[in-house]
Structure 1
Amino acid sequence: MIKITVPGRPISKSNFKLYNIHGQAWMPKQGKHSKYVAYENMIAGYINKSYQGPIIEENLITIIKLYFPNKRIGDIHNYPKSICDGIEKSGIIKNDKQLKPVLILDYIDKDNPRVEIELYKSSEYNLSFSLEKK
Protein backbone atom coordinates (compact mmCIF):
# COMPACT_ATOMS: atom_id res chain seq x y z
CA MET A 1 0.00 0.00 0.00
CA ILE A 2 1.14 3.51 -0.78
CA LYS A 3 -0.44 6.33 1.20
CA ILE A 4 0.47 9.97 0.76
CA THR A 5 -0.92 13.31 1.84
CA VAL A 6 -0.57 16.36 -0.39
CA PRO A 7 -1.14 19.59 1.56
CA GLY A 8 -3.24 22.43 0.19
CA ARG A 9 -6.55 22.80 -1.59
CA PRO A 10 -7.12 20.22 -4.36
CA ILE A 11 -6.82 21.63 -7.89
CA SER A 12 -9.15 20.72 -10.74
CA LYS A 13 -7.80 20.39 -14.27
CA SER A 14 -10.83 22.10 -15.80
CA ASN A 15 -9.96 25.40 -14.10
CA PHE A 16 -6.70 25.74 -16.02
CA LYS A 17 -7.46 24.69 -19.59
CA LEU A 18 -7.15 27.22 -22.36
CA TYR A 19 -8.52 26.80 -25.86
CA ASN A 20 -6.99 27.77 -29.20
CA ILE A 21 -8.94 29.25 -32.12
CA HIS A 22 -9.84 25.73 -33.29
CA GLY A 23 -11.38 24.83 -29.92
CA GLN A 24 -8.59 22.48 -28.88
CA ALA A 25 -7.71 22.50 -25.18
CA TRP A 26 -4.13 22.92 -24.00
CA MET A 27 -2.35 23.41 -20.68
CA PRO A 28 0.07 26.37 -20.50
CA LYS A 29 3.43 25.85 -18.80
CA GLN A 30 3.82 29.51 -17.77
CA GLY A 31 1.60 32.24 -16.36
CA LYS A 32 -1.35 32.04 -14.00
CA HIS A 33 -2.69 28.90 -15.68
CA SER A 34 0.53 26.96 -15.02
CA LYS A 35 -0.58 26.14 -11.46
CA TYR A 36 -1.98 22.87 -12.74
CA VAL A 37 1.40 21.66 -14.01
CA ALA A 38 2.99 22.69 -10.69
CA TYR A 39 0.27 20.74 -8.82
CA GLU A 40 0.94 17.60 -10.88
CA ASN A 41 4.66 17.95 -10.13
CA MET A 42 3.96 18.43 -6.42
CA ILE A 43 1.89 15.22 -6.31
CA ALA A 44 4.65 13.36 -8.19
CA GLY A 45 7.23 14.64 -5.71
CA TYR A 46 5.27 13.48 -2.66
CA ILE A 47 4.78 10.03 -4.23
CA ASN A 48 8.47 9.72 -5.07
CA LYS A 49 9.37 10.54 -1.46
CA SER A 50 7.21 7.69 -0.15
CA TYR A 51 7.78 4.99 -2.81
CA GLN A 52 11.19 3.81 -3.97
CA GLY A 53 10.19 0.45 -5.46
CA PRO A 54 10.03 -0.72 -9.06
CA ILE A 55 7.45 0.50 -11.58
CA ILE A 56 4.08 -1.01 -10.75
CA GLU A 57 2.64 -2.81 -13.78
CA GLU A 58 -0.67 -4.00 -12.35
CA ASN A 59 -3.89 -2.11 -11.63
CA LEU A 60 -4.10 -0.14 -8.41
CA ILE A 61 -7.23 0.30 -6.35
CA THR A 62 -7.22 4.05 -5.82
CA ILE A 63 -8.88 5.93 -2.97
CA ILE A 64 -8.79 9.71 -3.20
CA LYS A 65 -9.94 11.77 -0.21
CA LEU A 66 -10.37 15.47 -0.97
CA TYR A 67 -10.39 17.88 1.97
CA PHE A 68 -11.60 21.36 1.01
CA PRO A 69 -11.30 24.54 3.12
CA ASN A 70 -14.96 25.45 2.52
CA LYS A 71 -18.13 24.38 0.71
CA ARG A 72 -16.98 25.93 -2.59
CA ILE A 73 -16.03 22.60 -4.07
CA GLY A 74 -17.03 22.72 -7.73
CA ASP A 75 -17.51 19.61 -9.83
CA ILE A 76 -16.03 16.79 -7.76
CA HIS A 77 -15.39 14.68 -10.87
CA ASN A 78 -12.78 17.09 -12.25
CA TYR A 79 -10.32 16.65 -9.37
CA PRO A 80 -9.15 13.05 -9.94
CA LYS A 81 -7.69 13.93 -13.35
CA SER A 82 -5.06 16.22 -11.86
CA ILE A 83 -4.26 13.69 -9.15
CA CYS A 84 -4.07 10.72 -11.52
CA ASP A 85 -1.87 12.73 -13.91
CA GLY A 86 0.46 13.49 -10.98
CA ILE A 87 0.62 9.81 -10.04
CA GLU A 88 1.54 8.90 -13.62
CA LYS A 89 4.09 11.73 -13.77
CA SER A 90 5.79 10.29 -10.67
CA GLY A 91 6.88 7.30 -12.74
CA ILE A 92 5.61 4.61 -10.35
CA ILE A 93 3.11 3.48 -13.02
CA LYS A 94 3.25 3.46 -16.80
CA ASN A 95 -0.22 4.84 -17.44
CA ASP A 96 -2.99 6.28 -15.27
CA LYS A 97 -5.34 3.70 -16.83
CA GLN A 98 -3.88 1.38 -14.17
CA LEU A 99 -5.68 3.39 -11.49
CA LYS A 100 -8.92 1.45 -11.23
CA PRO A 101 -11.26 1.32 -9.57
CA VAL A 102 -11.15 4.88 -8.22
CA LEU A 103 -13.13 5.87 -5.15
CA ILE A 104 -13.52 9.63 -4.57
CA LEU A 105 -14.56 11.04 -1.20
CA ASP A 106 -14.89 14.71 -0.25
CA TYR A 107 -14.79 16.44 3.12
CA ILE A 108 -14.50 19.93 4.59
CA ASP A 109 -11.46 20.75 6.73
CA LYS A 110 -11.02 24.52 6.84
CA ASP A 111 -7.81 24.30 8.88
CA ASN A 112 -6.04 21.62 6.86
CA PRO A 113 -7.13 21.34 3.19
CA ARG A 114 -5.35 18.44 1.51
CA VAL A 115 -5.57 15.38 -0.68
CA GLU A 116 -5.01 11.91 0.72
CA ILE A 117 -4.16 9.26 -1.84
CA GLU A 118 -4.17 5.53 -1.13
CA LEU A 119 -2.96 3.02 -3.72
CA TYR A 120 -3.46 -0.73 -3.28
CA LYS A 121 -2.16 -3.44 -5.63
CA SER A 122 -5.07 -5.37 -7.14
CA SER A 123 -3.16 -8.62 -6.66
CA GLU A 124 -3.00 -8.04 -2.90
CA TYR A 125 -6.29 -6.31 -2.06
CA ASN A 126 -9.99 -6.58 -2.88
CA LEU A 127 -12.36 -3.64 -2.73
CA SER A 128 -15.80 -4.43 -1.40
CA PHE A 129 -18.59 -1.91 -1.49
CA SER A 130 -21.94 -1.89 0.21
CA LEU A 131 -24.79 0.57 0.12
CA GLU A 132 -27.40 0.47 2.82
CA LYS A 133 -30.70 2.26 3.01
CA LYS A 134 -31.01 4.59 6.01
Structure 2
Amino acid sequence: MIKIIVPGKPISKSNFKLKNIHGQVWMPREGKHGKYIAYENKIAGFINQQYTGPTLTGNIITIIHLYFLNKRMGDLHNYPKSICDGIEKSGIIENDRQLKPVLLFDYIDKDHPRIEIELYECSKYKVSYSIESLDE
Protein backbone atom coordinates (compact mmCIF):
# COMPACT_ATOMS: atom_id res chain seq x y z
CA MET A 1 0.00 0.00 0.00
CA ILE A 2 1.20 3.46 -0.88
CA LYS A 3 -0.24 6.50 0.90
CA ILE A 4 0.32 10.00 -0.43
CA ILE A 5 -0.80 13.23 1.24
CA VAL A 6 -1.15 16.40 -0.83
CA PRO A 7 -1.82 19.48 1.33
CA GLY A 8 -4.15 22.21 0.17
CA LYS A 9 -7.65 22.57 -1.22
CA PRO A 10 -8.61 19.97 -3.86
CA ILE A 11 -9.16 21.41 -7.36
CA SER A 12 -11.64 20.08 -9.91
CA LYS A 13 -10.66 19.76 -13.56
CA SER A 14 -14.09 20.68 -14.93
CA ASN A 15 -13.69 24.33 -13.94
CA PHE A 16 -10.82 24.80 -16.38
CA LYS A 17 -11.99 23.20 -19.63
CA LEU A 18 -12.95 25.32 -22.62
CA LYS A 19 -14.77 24.48 -25.85
CA ASN A 20 -13.92 25.83 -29.28
CA ILE A 21 -16.51 26.76 -31.92
CA HIS A 22 -16.59 23.13 -33.11
CA GLY A 23 -17.45 21.81 -29.64
CA GLN A 24 -14.02 20.29 -29.01
CA VAL A 25 -12.92 20.45 -25.38
CA TRP A 26 -9.39 21.64 -24.64
CA MET A 27 -7.31 22.72 -21.68
CA PRO A 28 -5.39 26.00 -22.03
CA ARG A 29 -1.89 26.13 -20.52
CA GLU A 30 -1.90 29.84 -19.65
CA GLY A 31 -4.01 32.30 -17.68
CA LYS A 32 -6.29 31.05 -14.94
CA HIS A 33 -6.30 27.66 -16.66
CA GLY A 34 -2.58 27.33 -15.96
CA LYS A 35 -3.65 26.91 -12.33
CA TYR A 36 -4.92 23.43 -13.22
CA ILE A 37 -1.61 22.42 -14.84
CA ALA A 38 0.18 23.71 -11.74
CA TYR A 39 -2.17 21.61 -9.59
CA GLU A 40 -1.36 18.44 -11.55
CA ASN A 41 2.34 19.24 -11.13
CA LYS A 42 1.81 19.79 -7.39
CA ILE A 43 0.23 16.36 -7.01
CA ALA A 44 3.02 14.76 -9.06
CA GLY A 45 5.65 16.54 -6.97
CA PHE A 46 4.23 15.34 -3.66
CA ILE A 47 3.99 11.79 -5.01
CA ASN A 48 7.62 11.90 -6.12
CA GLN A 49 8.65 13.19 -2.69
CA GLN A 50 6.74 10.48 -0.83
CA TYR A 51 7.25 7.45 -3.11
CA THR A 52 10.57 6.35 -4.55
CA GLY A 53 9.71 2.79 -5.59
CA PRO A 54 9.28 1.29 -9.04
CA THR A 55 6.56 2.19 -11.53
CA LEU A 56 3.36 0.31 -10.72
CA THR A 57 2.01 -1.99 -13.41
CA GLY A 58 -1.41 -3.56 -13.67
CA ASN A 59 -4.63 -2.26 -12.17
CA ILE A 60 -4.43 -0.20 -9.01
CA ILE A 61 -7.16 0.04 -6.38
CA THR A 62 -7.34 3.77 -5.71
CA ILE A 63 -8.89 5.35 -2.63
CA ILE A 64 -9.14 9.13 -2.58
CA HIS A 65 -10.02 11.05 0.59
CA LEU A 66 -10.85 14.71 -0.10
CA TYR A 67 -10.71 17.12 2.84
CA PHE A 68 -12.41 20.45 2.12
CA LEU A 69 -12.48 23.73 4.03
CA ASN A 70 -16.28 23.76 4.13
CA LYS A 71 -19.39 22.31 2.50
CA ARG A 72 -18.94 24.41 -0.67
CA MET A 73 -17.09 21.70 -2.55
CA GLY A 74 -18.85 21.52 -5.91
CA ASP A 75 -19.46 18.33 -7.84
CA LEU A 76 -17.37 15.61 -6.18
CA HIS A 77 -17.20 13.51 -9.33
CA ASN A 78 -15.01 16.09 -11.06
CA TYR A 79 -12.14 15.86 -8.57
CA PRO A 80 -10.76 12.38 -9.35
CA LYS A 81 -9.82 13.38 -12.91
CA SER A 82 -7.40 16.07 -11.77
CA ILE A 83 -5.96 13.76 -9.11
CA CYS A 84 -5.59 10.80 -11.49
CA ASP A 85 -3.89 13.04 -14.07
CA GLY A 86 -1.43 14.15 -11.38
CA ILE A 87 -0.76 10.54 -10.40
CA GLU A 88 0.00 9.67 -14.02
CA LYS A 89 2.18 12.76 -14.45
CA SER A 90 4.29 11.66 -11.44
CA GLY A 91 5.43 8.55 -13.32
CA ILE A 92 4.33 6.20 -10.53
CA ILE A 93 2.01 4.56 -13.10
CA GLU A 94 2.11 4.36 -16.89
CA ASN A 95 -1.48 5.41 -17.57
CA ASP A 96 -4.34 6.60 -15.37
CA ARG A 97 -6.52 3.85 -16.91
CA GLN A 98 -4.72 1.57 -14.42
CA LEU A 99 -6.53 3.32 -11.56
CA LYS A 100 -9.55 1.09 -11.08
CA PRO A 101 -11.59 0.84 -9.06
CA VAL A 102 -11.54 4.38 -7.67
CA LEU A 103 -13.27 4.96 -4.34
CA LEU A 104 -14.00 8.56 -3.38
CA PHE A 105 -14.73 9.94 0.09
CA ASP A 106 -15.23 13.54 1.19
CA TYR A 107 -14.79 15.24 4.56
CA ILE A 108 -14.62 18.71 6.06
CA ASP A 109 -11.39 19.83 7.75
CA LYS A 110 -11.37 23.61 7.94
CA ASP A 111 -7.85 23.68 9.38
CA HIS A 112 -6.08 21.24 7.05
CA PRO A 113 -7.66 20.81 3.58
CA ARG A 114 -5.84 18.08 1.69
CA ILE A 115 -6.02 14.99 -0.47
CA GLU A 116 -5.04 11.59 0.83
CA ILE A 117 -4.41 9.00 -1.87
CA GLU A 118 -4.07 5.28 -1.19
CA LEU A 119 -2.85 2.96 -3.94
CA TYR A 120 -3.08 -0.83 -3.76
CA GLU A 121 -1.84 -3.16 -6.48
CA CYS A 122 -4.67 -5.48 -7.56
CA SER A 123 -2.16 -8.31 -7.84
CA LYS A 124 -1.57 -8.05 -4.07
CA TYR A 125 -4.89 -6.80 -2.67
CA LYS A 126 -8.61 -7.19 -3.27
CA VAL A 127 -11.36 -4.73 -2.53
CA SER A 128 -14.79 -5.49 -1.12
CA TYR A 129 -17.57 -3.43 0.34
CA SER A 130 -20.92 -3.87 1.98
CA ILE A 131 -24.00 -1.74 2.33
CA GLU A 132 -26.01 -2.20 5.48
CA SER A 133 -29.37 -0.84 6.50
CA LEU A 134 -29.37 1.66 9.36
CA ASP A 135 -32.81 0.40 10.43
CA GLU A 136 -31.53 -2.95 11.66
Smaller-chain TM-score bracket = over 0.9
Counterparts of 1:76 and 1:38 in 2: how far apart (Å)? 20
TM-score (norm 2): 0.95
- Matched letter for residue 54 of structure 2: P
Letter in 1 for 2:133: K
> 1:130 matched to which residue of 2?
130
Q: Equivalent residue of 1:66, what SS? A: strand
Deviation at 1:10? 0.5
* C-alpha displacement of 1:70: 0.7
SS at match of 1:132: coil
Residue correspondences, number: 134
Q: SS at the partner of 1:64?
A: strand
Within 5 A, what are the aligned runs for 1:1-134?
A: 1-134=1-134
Matched to 1:104, the amino acid is L
Distance of 1:110 and 1:5 partners within structure 2: 16
Deviation for aligned residue 1:127: 1.0
Partner of 2:94: helix, strand, or coil? Answer: coil
Q: Give per-residue Cα distances to partners, 1:21-45, cap 9 Å, x unaligned.
A: 2121111111111111111001011
Inter-partner Cα distance in structure 2 for 1:109 and 1:19: 34
Quote the Cα distance in structure 2 between the aligned partners of 1:49 and 1:8. 16
Deviation of the 1:5 alpha carbon? 0.8
How far is the alpha carbon of 1:73 from its aligned partner? 1.1
- State the alpha-carbon separation in 1 of the partners of residues 111 and 27 from structure 2: 30
CA-based RMSD of the aligned residues comes to 0.9
Runs of 4+ in 1 over 3 A off after TM superposition: none
Distance 2:120 2:38 in 1: 25
Once residues 48 and 27 of structure 1 are traced to their aligned partners in structure 2, the CA distance between those partners, rounded to angstroms, is: 24
Unaligned runs of 5+ in 2: none
SS at 1:39's partner residue? helix
Question: Which secondary structure does the structure 1 equivalent of 2:36 belong to?
Answer: helix
Write the deviation string for residues 53-81 of structure 1: whole angstroms up to 9, x where unpaired.
22111111100000110111111100000
Q: Taking every aligned residue pair, what percent have the same amino acid on both sides?
A: 72
